[in-house]
Amino acid sequence: MLTAFARAFRTPDLRKKLLFTLGIVVLFRFGQHVPVPGVSFQNVQQCVDEAQAGGAGSGLFGLVNMFSGGALLQLTIFALGIMPYITASIILQLLVVVIPRLEALKKEGQSGQAKITQYTRYLTMALAVLQATGLVATARSGTLFPNCSVAGDIIPSDSIFTTVIMVIALTSATALIMWMGELITDRGIGNGMSMLMFVSIAAGFPSALWQIKLSGTLADGWIEFGVVVACGLAMVGLVVFVELAQRRIPVQYAKRMIGRRSYGGTSTYIPLKVNQAGVIPVIFASSLLYIPQLLVQFAGTDAGGWADWVQRYFTGGDHPYYIVTYFLLIVFFAFFYVAITFNPEDVAENMKKYGGFIPGIRAGRPTVEYLSYVLNRITWPGAMYLGLIALVPTVALVMFNAQQDFPFGGTSILIIVGVGLETVRQIESQLHQRNYEGFLR
């Protein structure tokens, strides 16, 4: 990997792309430290310090805070991060399966995909307005830092004008992040949104590791620090192994004579990844389990017995009910997302249209049944793997008292490894295009 980066910097056009990407990343990190107008920066820092000193993170907003690089709890202009865009993209992917008009647009090729991208931008801005309004209301009510002594004074002014200015600032910053991500995609290296997500998550690793060292008791915390780093490296190796694992289904194309030329007769394969769903099931399950906690916090202390039940079993993340529910939701969403993103009938129809077939399997319905059978078989280990990886922060909570600051969580490792592998793969492919040596040397 390091060799690929060194060769890329020696190539002029690739060096420009890498430097451009690095410049956008620097601007993105700078925006994550600019406070929102109307926020008391001193009170926010006091609440963050009290939360870290007490060893408690904001579990309700932990996922969004991770995707924003810690900007959410700092209430900076990039507090929403790329979560509105991620949510909008997921919603559009689900709607493509449900709404025939969107499905037709997807089949139109590049023009249809551009239209869906435009719809995603509009939905991102709408979600950004809603999330910005909710964030301002949550911070003003003191729910963002429930155990902080000055939580109610984070936003000193209660005027409508201040609220509107804060919502406009947060929404505009989300549009700026979306534009920066598209700039990286067009003029830089890799997918822009994935790269910004990678930067946001990786930015929290040093402070989280140092916090584990400070809270440790064995040899001034260095033993706990070393154990966590070793476990993290082992997890990275496991994730790389599974993310690269795939089931290759061979496909043979028959020869066709068109005029005097012969077409086809080639052999290829359909790559089915073991983790076909990626990190989406973990995000779905985490978001769904945050809903009961959110309802309890907004309902207050007079909510009744259901609020006590939620507080007892689904707050903190270390209760067996929470762990089992979280694991089962991840498995369910893994099968659900694979079912809506990979359609065996469409694949079999395209193969039949171009004269392709799987050796030993008849075209048509038998091919659909075979693809569905293989997909179900490889989705089971992929779903179990996602569930086990996602439970790593819960184990860390018990073993190291790391709570939400544990850096090697399932979601963060999956995203970092996935984006890293894809970026290196794109760099290597561009290097091969520019420095292709061929078979003769």
Q: Which pLDDT tens digit goes with each residue over 155-211?
A: 888 888 888 999 999 999 999 999 999 999 888 888 888 888 888 888 878 877 777
pLDDT at 439: 42
Q: Distance between CA atoms of 246 and 231, rounded to whole angstroms?
A: 25
Which of the two residues, 267 and 175, has the higher pLDDT score?
175
Element at 348 (helix H, strand E): helix 344-353
Q: Are 1-203 and 205-408 the same fold in CATH?
A: yes
Which of the two residues, 410 and 179, has the higher pLDDT score?
179
Give the residue-averaged pLDDT of 340-349. Answer: 86
pLDDT at 223: 82
At 88-140, the pLDDT tens digits run: 888 888 888 788 888 888 878 788 888 888 999 999 999 999 888 888 888 88
The position carrying tokens 């307005």 is 129
At 412-440, the pLDDT tens digits run: 888 888 888 888 888 887 777 766 554 44
**Tokens matching residue 154:** 């984070």
Quote the percentage of the chain above a pLDDT of 70. 80
Residue 151 has pLDDT above 70, yes or no: no
CATH, range 1-203: 1.10.3370.10
**Sign (positive or negative) of CA dihedral 304, 140, 88, 185:** negative
pLDDT at 67: 67
Give the residue-averaged pLDDT of 216-237. Answer: 79
Residue 78 has pLDDT above 50, yes or no: yes
Nearest Cα neighbor of 113 from 123, 103, 125, 98 is: 103
Q: Which fold has domain 205-408?
A: Preprotein translocase SecY subunit (1.10.3370)
Q: What is the pTM of this model?
A: 0.79
Quote the percentage of the chain above a pLDDT of 90. 11
pLDDT at 122: 93
pLDDT at 341: 82
Are 276 and 382 contacting, i.e. CB atoms less than 8 angstroms apart? yes
Residue 384 has pLDDT above 50, yes or no: yes
Domain boundaries, the chain: 1-203, 205-408
pLDDT at 411: 75
Which range has highest mean pLDDT (137-151, 172-186, 258-272)? 172-186
Residue 33 has pLDDT above 70, yes or no: yes
